[in-house]
Structure 1
Amino acid sequence: MSGHGAPELTINNVSDLRVAVVAAQWHEQVMNGLLDGAHRALKELGVAESTVVRVPGAFELPVAAKRLADRGYDAVIALGVVIRGGTPHFEYVCEAATLGLTEVSVSTGVPVGFGVLTCDNEQQALDRAGLEGSAEDKGHEAVTAAVATAATLRALA
């Protein structure tokens, strides 16, 4: 399982961070799980201010993440799911979302939590969505990673 070896992070004093979540709409059940995990993580971390923005799919995540980063959010979390089909569409969308979100983070200096599932089938997505019975909670993990990075960047300032 890909979650093996994840670090134990200690994240303190982040209640004042402004965090935005941009989430795709495709695959409603999986997205509901990812969003629930993101909300749980924000609550556990004590983040007082968060905004949720929805976009059609994973391909649209980078442009929305860029707008949010430009509006002064301390961290942006991108949530989506792309499931392999019988055409090259999967590779194009996965690469565009990954490179686009990386560019947003590097060009703005705002951490972008990568909660985009790239799965071979729907069961793999369900197993990572943080739903009851899921092996992993990638929405929660994406928030934790982005907020931990935002806290680190603030300490470096």
Structure 2
Amino acid sequence: MSGSGAPTIETPRAEGARVAVVAAQWHPKVTDSLVAGAIRALEESGVTEYKVIRVPGSFELPVAALHAAKGGYDAVVALGVVIRGDTPHFEYVCQAATEGLMQVGVTTGVPIGFGLLTCDNDPQALDRAGLPDSREDKGYESAQAALSTLVAIKGL
């Protein structure tokens, strides 16, 4: 894991923002922790109106994010994990989910916090999940990114 070059992002104040947290159900130990990290960042920012939406897997994140963005949410935090296996399934799901989430953000103008972990193995996912012994908290960071982008856009 690199981590090299990561910016220091302060959690901005975003009172009054409506945020959807869309999370996959696969690998619940990881995804539940990602959701907890995202909620912690939202609450630290002053966001009180948020909704957690669970979908079956990471492939379903873009369509749920699209409906949230079109449904009036100011930002969306998309969380999931795909762990490499022995088939090309990993590449297809990762690419489709990544491109789909990017498309949602670009076409709707709603910031999308990208919290889709694409890992080679379980230990990598656990190390990014925001668990007590994890080195990173991608759920928290994804919410920070979505809120920071929202604040930047509102300042234009």
TM-score normalised by L of structure 1: 0.96
Say which is worse superposed, 8-17 or 131-140, in terms of deviation.
8-17
Match of 1:142 in 2: 142
- Give how far 1:11 is off: 4.7
- Give how far 1:7 is off: 1.8
Amino acid at match of 1:102: M
- Give how far 1:8 is off: 2.2
User: How far apart are the structure 2 equivalents of 1:72 and 1:130?
Assistant: 28
1:28 paired with 2:28, answer yes
Amino acid at match of 2:75: A
User: Kindly tell me: are residues 40 and 146 of structure 1, through their superposed partners in 2, closer, same or farther at Cα, counting changes over 3 Å?
Assistant: same
User: How far apart are the structure 1 equivalents of 2:116 and 2:9?
Assistant: 21
User: Kindly tell me: are residues 18 and 86 of structure 1, through their superposed partners in 2, closer, same or farther at Cα, counting changes over 3 Å?
Assistant: same
1:18 paired with 2:14, answer no
Other structure's SS at 1:30 match: helix
Match of 1:123 in 2: 123
Match of 2:155 in 1: 155
TM-score normalised by L of structure 2: 0.96
User: How far apart are the structure 2 equivalents of 1:13 and 1:77?
Assistant: 16
Match of 1:99 in 2: 99
Amino acid at match of 2:69: A
Match of 1:75 in 2: 75
* Residue segments in structure 2 that go unaligned for 5+ positions in a row: none
Match of 1:39 in 2: 39
User: How far apart are the structure 2 equivalents of 1:116 and 1:140?
Assistant: 12
User: How far apart are the structure 1 equivalents of 2:152 and 2:2?
Assistant: 24
User: How high is the sequence identity, in percent, across the aligned residues?
Assistant: 63
Query: Are 2:111 and 2:146, in contact at CA under 8 Å, matched by a contact in 1?
Result: yes
Other structure's SS at 1:14 match: coil
User: How far apart are the structure 1 equivalents of 2:33 and 2:12?
Assistant: 25
Other structure's SS at 2:145 match: helix
- Give how far 1:138 is off: 0.2
- Give how far 1:12 is off: 3.9
Query: Are 2:11 and 2:41, in contact at CA under 8 Å, matched by a contact in 1?
Result: no
Counterparts of residues 41-60 of structure 1 (less than 5 Å): 41-60=41-60
Aligned residues: 156
Query: Are 1:11 and 1:151, in contact at CA under 8 Å, matched by a contact in 2?
Result: no
User: How far apart are the structure 1 equivalents of 2:94 and 2:44?
Assistant: 30
The CA RMSD over aligned residues, in Å, is 1.0
